[in-house]
Amino acid sequence: MTTSSSRYRITHKTHYRYTDPVAICQNQVMMIPRELPRVKCRDAEVHIQPPPGLSSSHVDYFGNPVHTFSIETQHRELTVIVSSDVEVTATSFPRADQTEPWETVRDAISGGNNPDWFSVCEFRYPSSMVNTGEKFAQYAQQSFYPNRPILEAGLDLTKRIFRDFKYDVNATRVDTRAEEAFGLRAGVCQDFAQIEIACLRSIGLAARYVSGYLRTIPPPGKPRLVGADQSHAWASLYAGQRLGWIDLDPTNACLVATDHVPICVGRDYGDVAPMRGVVLGGGNTSLNVSVDVVPIDADAG
């Protein structure tokens, strides 16, 4: 396997505006990149306005950095800016048709003999937003036919979801479960990732949800627009001890490379929502989010 790397300065700005004063708010932020084999977070900062009275940081069950804060002074606006310096390494895998049969991987993680069993077994089962079932299995088996190499089958499933489902920001909500989006045949990156995960788990494989960012590249001759990059999500398939976790992006029908920056991993969106919280007061709320993924050295292109 060969590798290449890119380094980025990422800025994720979240701004809430309220029609009525907020007396108290408590929030959780999951926008700080975690350490992964192909990700190194060199630096990260969280800036909050108005300043919180209480704040703390910890690492959750899945190994993701979490920042929590509480503001107990009256306010009508809340701004959270998370900045990070991240180096991402892309791995070039063997030819997809030369990887081991998918059933070999399935059987290896179905019991406790595989050294990776403990770390992958919980990603084989249904979760709050990703159920499993026969309809997912039938859809997956069109790609995962007997003895097909696991990476070849995974890429085929990824491309089929891209072809068969319509990208429609109005089709689903942030709390839409995989089963509903599958029936609609429409959704956004969150939905497509969870559909792929449901398919993989339904045939006995391990798959997890990855939140992150996608760098956008402007057309030739056009300037890069500030704030035009995207929060993104994709699926990660456990492909055996030799290959480990392989990230698949069904929204773009591709293997994940250095334009994708992973932030957190979990069973589904519910484990890794970028920001969540509760407020007392506030009335109606408007939300504005902007993301910048900016190369900070020549190697990033």
CATH of the domain at 296: 2.60.40.2250
Note the pLDDT of residue 37: 87
Digitized pLDDT (tens) for each residue of the chain, 301 residues in all: 446 789 999 999 999 999 999 999 999 999 999 988 889 999 999 999 999 999 999 999 999 999 999 999 999 999 999 999 999 987 778 899 999 999 999 999 987 677 778 889 999 999 999 999 999 999 999 999 999 999 999 999 999 999 999 999 999 999 999 999 999 999 999 999 999 999 999 999 999 999 999 988 776 766 655 545 779 999 999 999 889 999 999 999 999 988 899 999 999 999 999 999 999 999 999 999 999 999 986 444 4
Question: 288 and 193 in one domain?
Answer: no
Residue that is written with structure tokens 């899945």 in the block: 62
Cα-to-chain-centroid distance, residue 186:
18
N-to-C CA span, the chain: 21
Find, among 188, 200, 186, 194, the residue nearest to 153 by Cα: 200
Question: 165 and 56 in one domain?
Answer: no
Find, among 82, 104, 235, the residue nearest to 162 by Cα: 235
How many distinct structural domains can be found in the chain? Answer: 2
Tell me the residue type at 172.
T
d(CA 269, CA 176): 10
Burial 48-85 (b: 16+ CB within 10 A, else e): beeebeeeeeeeeebebbbbebebeeebeebebbbbbb
Residue that is written with structure tokens 């479960």 in the block: 177
Question: 246 and 151 in one domain?
Answer: yes
For 62, the token pair is: 């899945």
d(CA 48, CA 54): 11
Question: 197 and 253 in one domain?
Answer: yes
CATH number at residue 235: 3.10.620.30
Q: Are 198 and 131 in contact (CB under 8 A)?
A: yes
Note the pLDDT of residue 224: 58
Question: 259 and 174 in one domain?
Answer: yes
Tell me the residue type at 232.
H
Note the pLDDT of residue 225: 54
Question: 101 and 247 in one domain?
Answer: yes
Residue that is written with structure tokens 């993680």 in the block: 109
Rounded to two decimals, the pTM is: 0.93
Tell me the residue type at 6.
S
Question: 219 and 100 in one domain?
Answer: yes
Question: 123 and 56 in one domain?
Answer: no
CB atoms within 10 A of CB 39: 16
Question: 74 and 216 in one domain?
Answer: no
The burial of 25, by beta-carbon neighbours within 10 Å (0-12 exposed, 13-18 middle, 19 or more buried), is given as buried
Question: 13 and 150 in one domain?
Answer: no
Q: Are 15 and 44 in contact (CB under 8 A)?
A: no
Note the pLDDT of residue 216: 80
Question: 118 and 153 in one domain?
Answer: yes
Find, among 24, 217, 25, 200, the residue nearest to 120 by Cα: 200
Question: 169 and 64 in one domain?
Answer: no
Range of the structural domain that residue 136 is part of:
93-272
Note the pLDDT of residue 1: 47
Q: Which DSSP symbol is given to 166? A: E
